[in-house]
Amino acid sequence: MAQQIADRRDIDFVLYEQLDTEKLAKEKAFDGLDRKAFDMIITEARNFAVKELLPVYVDSDRIGVTLENGKVKVPESFHRPFKLLVEGEWTSMCEAPELGGQGLPHIIDRAVREYLSGACGALVAYAQMGHGTGKMIELYGTAEQKKLFINKLYDGIWGGTMVLTESNAGSDVGALTTSAHKNADGTYTITGDKIFITNGEHDLTENIIHPVLARVEGAPAGVRGISIFIVPKIWVNPDGTLGQPNDVVCTGIEEKTGIHGSATCSLAFGSKGQCRGLLLGQEGMGMKIMFKMMNEARQDVGFQGLFAASRAYLYAVNYARERRQGKELGSPKDAPAQVPIIRHPDVRRMLMWMKCYVEGLRSLIYYVESLFDRAHCSDDPAVKKACNDEAELLTPIIKSMGSDRGFDICVQAIQVYGGYGYIKEYPVEQLMRDTKIASLYEGTNGIQAMDLLGRKLGLNNGQVFMNMLGQMHAIIEKAKASEGLQAVATEFKTAVDRLGEVAMIMGTRAMSAEFKTAFAHASPFLNATGDVIMAWMLLWRAQVAATKLAKGAATKDGAFYKGQIKSAEFFINTILPVTLGSMNAIAKGSPAAIEIDEDAFGG
């Protein structure tokens, strides 16, 4: 039977052979768990996703959400799987059981979510977005706030959002105009309009908890004056019961290119002067608190690109095996007139390109989850800091590369299908439309590039970046000692060394009078860094596979392991040379985009 949603063999390879996740079961933090438990949970998620979630993916697109009298309705087919999703306790698997979670490792949660979200991301997000809201309250809330909100958010009983954007401000959050007036009882009256609020209104949960950025009256301008407030759709009484509607009204939903089943709302807070909120943390801490949630969201957005790419690749490779068209090149005259298109060189090239990025992205995203697990299990502050710093460095890479390459893989899948890929009878065109948003929200990928260059490259005076290059060199040395990998390891070393040089050039330029030119090349620099990281992950995979083959891996796994080596060969010998050319252009640093007169753009 063809794989659906995600390749389980590849997931197991990353979990247990590349990242040795089984060792987490020996940690005190995960006492009582073992590989058998991990496998059972992932298998159950896979079965649930295929049976209950995947069948409503088309409804998500073709029925979508509707708005009537300020109320948003999701497709009727969403209600049963949503109820089962919540009842099955799939919503907050990493959190402590006493808070409504399962106490699982982050990396196992990611594998589970690759199936759940990969099957129908728009539906699953209604249940899981409350996790980020709950995490902010867990970290910064008062004891009373935690008691009122955390469990129901983590359990998926109540929905959650992230309320930042305003039409006049966009990504410039410091320009927001939503205001907060402090009341005598300690609550705040919230007034303002927000846009692009994912899941801001829907009929799946009895309440929705909005974390809202606003400026307290008299607070300074800009980001320093921003606070964050817990604003329930329905007011929550001190005993946890629901009170009156809280003057939060959905004034519109966006008609989008894709993810039609996800309600993207415009919300009016306090249009009748009766919207109340609870201050989270202290006044002026809004951006600090929100960025905790934002970093989690950015990793999830990169992951969104991966699970769409994984599905698109599996659809494409299975279609290529089944679709018969044209003669095989070099075949004799009496050969069959039509062969499966997977035998055509250009189709194989497209599939290899897709395969490399799907595998590289999966390894990268799971690797960062393993950093969170390592930090969670360690009592050493230095280890915790090192893990968190590396995750910080890799977050803009995951967000940007995951969303960009995820979309590109969906486009390539359409190309494999040919004309059939462009029609709605087949699923890849919906995947493409649904995935495009990922490069735009939670900070466009241009903002991710600025973050990498302006902040993350200089973490700990550049030591975090240099440590990452050191890890790449360690894999190079292991690969050089592996049969058949010496040549690709040497080619990869050239790219790693060049990346180190270009990073120095970019860092210096960003702090000079040519800083605008540096930031004009920030996106190419992020993409080049991402490609080198993809090659790192693929060479690491190949080294593990080569070791298995050298030890006489079972026949049934031979093709899989050899495929890992071919992925590394293809990427390092075919894609990385283009990346080297890009790095040379970045180093040269043409200022043309900065120097051109605005009138010269035409129009």
pLDDT at 554: 61
DSSP-derived 3-state class of residue 182: strand
Mean pLDDT of the chain: 95
Q: What is the pLDDT of residues 58-67, one digit of tens each?
A: 999 999 999 9
Task: Give the pLDDT confidence of 188-212 residue by residue, as tens digits.
Answer: 999 999 999 999 999 999 999 999 9
Phi, psi of 366 (to 5 degrees): -65, -35
Q: What are phi and psi of 105, to 5 degrees?
A: -65, 150
Q: HEC profile for 102-148?
A: CCCCHHHHHHHHHHHHHHHHHHHHHHHCHHHHHHHHHHHCCHHHHHH
Q: Quick one: CATH architecture of 288-440?
A: Up-down Bundle (1.20)
Contacts 24+ apart (CB under 8 A), 484-489: 484/546, 484/565, 485/539, 485/542, 485/543, 485/546, 485/565, 485/568, 488/539, 488/542, 488/568, 488/569, 488/572, 488/573, 489/539
Q: What is the pLDDT of residue 260?
A: 98
Could you give the residue numbers annotated as active site? Answer: 442
The pLDDT tens digits for 536-572 are: 999 999 999 999 998 886 667 999 999 999 999 999 9
pLDDT tens across 162-185, in order?
998 888 766 667 678 899 999 999
**CATH, domain range 8-128:** 1.10.540.10
Cα radius of gyration rounded to whole Å, the chain: 25
Confidence bin at 4 (pLDDT 50/70/90):
confident
Look at residue 278 in the predicted model and tell me its pLDDT. 98
Number of Cβ within 10 Å of residue 354's Cβ equals 25
- Rounded Cα distance between 311 and 358, Å, is 10
Segment 313-322 mean pLDDT = 97
Contact 516, 594 (CB under 8 A): yes
Nearest to 225 by CA among 151, 274, 174: 174
Query: DSSP of 463-509, one letter per residue?
Result: HHHHHHHHHHHHHHHHHHTSTT-HHHHHHHHHHHHHHHHHHHHHHHH
Q: What tokens does 305 get?
A: 């690109």
pLDDT-derived band at 578 (thresholds 50, 70, 90) equals: very high
Look up the pTM and report it.
0.95
Domain 159-284 has CATH 3.20.20.140: no
At residue 291, the pLDDT reads 82
The DSSP code sequence of 534-573 is HHHHHHHHHHHHHHHHHTT--HHHHHHHHHHHHHHHHIII
Q: What is the mean pLDDT of residues 302-316?
A: 97
Residue 321's nearest CA partner among 339, 337, 338 is 339
Q: What is the pLDDT of residue 336?
A: 77
> Using one digit for the tens of pLDDT, what is the confidence trace for 141-158?
999 999 999 999 999 999
| Residue-level pLDDT at 602 | 92
pLDDT at 292: 79
What is the model's pLDDT at position 101?
85
**CA–CA gap between residue 311 and residue 320 (Å, rounded):** 14
| pLDDT above 60: residue 416 | yes
Task: Give the whole-angstrom CA distance, residue 250 versus residue 538.
Answer: 46
At 523-537, the pLDDT tens digits run 999 999 999 999 999
pLDDT at 434: 97
Residue 134: is its pLDDT beyond 80? Answer: yes
Looking at the predicted structure, is the pLDDT value of residue 270 above 70? yes
Provide, rounded to the nearest whole percent, the portion of the chain with pLDDT above 90. Answer: 88
Q: Place 518 in a pLDDT band, splitting at 50, 70 and 90.
A: very high
- Cα–Cα distance between 527 and 583 in angstroms, integer? 10
Q: Which residues pair with 72 in a beta bridge?
A: 67
Dihedral pair phi/psi, residue 25, rounded to 5°:
-65, -20
pLDDT in tens, 215-251: 999 999 888 999 999 999 999 999 999 999 999 999 9
Instruction: Identify the DSSP state of 269.
Output: E
| pLDDT at site 553 | 65
Q: Are 540 and 577 in contact (CB under 8 A)?
A: no
What percentage of the chain has pLDDT greater than the value 70?
A: 98
Task: Write the burial class of residue 454 (CB in 10 Å: 0-12 exposed, 13-18 middle, 19+ buried).
Answer: middle
Helix (H) or strand (E) holding 242: strand 242-245
